[in-house]
Amino acid sequence: METLELYDIDEDELGGLLSEIPTIWKNNSGFFDSGLIPVFINIGELDNLVFGVHIFSHGNGARLFIILSEYMRDVRIATFNITVKNMMGWLGYTSNNKGELKFKEMLEKLTYEELEIFAVENQYQESREIFICPNCSAQYRLRVLRVTEDNRIVCQNCNRLFNAIELNVTQKSASHDS
């Protein structure tokens, strides 16, 4: 098991970071890496402490990443206990020290500027607002839109430009959102 502590981190930064773990993993892995798939995420709080259990599957499910997180609001410290287990057939699960170290190093490399971006991401994480292109009907979440320097929206499908007033925003339920 690897342990990592992040100091002077905001609660929104931590929430955004935890929600983007599969994306961060994919950016730090090779092209043919199958990525992390969230299996179980549960977060609770008690007074000044926020704690969570985050389980991710890697590959065909033969490897599990188990992250226990704690955040102390008064001192702004996040602690991660990282465990990676490999399925070894009849032997059951065995530890994967290399995977634990890779995950820890991935989180250690993050800069404060990147953590600030995660804070913004966390504030809009529950948003179900989407952009629907008036030309081709392609749909994108607002947080992934491409915007030009003159604040015009670029459709990633048909490459047409739209002013913000042409923005078609709808609310979708979580069951339709992929």
Give the model confidence (pLDDT) of 97-109 as tens digits: 888 888 888 888 8
pLDDT at 50 over 50: yes
pLDDT for residue 163? 77
Q: Is the pLDDT of residue 164 over 70?
A: no
| pLDDT attached to residue 102 | 86
pTM of the model: 0.61
The pLDDT, as a whole number, for residue 121 is: 57
pLDDT at 169: 44
Contacts of residue 166, Cβ cutoff 8 Å, sequence gap at least 6: 134, 153
Q: 69 falls in which pLDDT band (50, 70, 90)?
A: very high
Grouping H, G, I as helix, E, B as strand and the rest as coil, residue 58 is strand
> Which of 83, 32, 96, 31 shows the shortest CA–CA distance to 54?
83
User: β-pairing, 129-132 with 139-141?
Assistant: antiparallel
pLDDT score of 29: 79
77: which residues sit within 8 A by CB, 6+ positions away?
5, 6, 7, 8, 9, 71
**Over residues 63-77, mean pLDDT:** 91
Q: Residue 143 has which token pair?
A: 């947080």
Mean pLDDT score, 21-28: 81
Q: Residue 130: what pLDDT?
A: 65
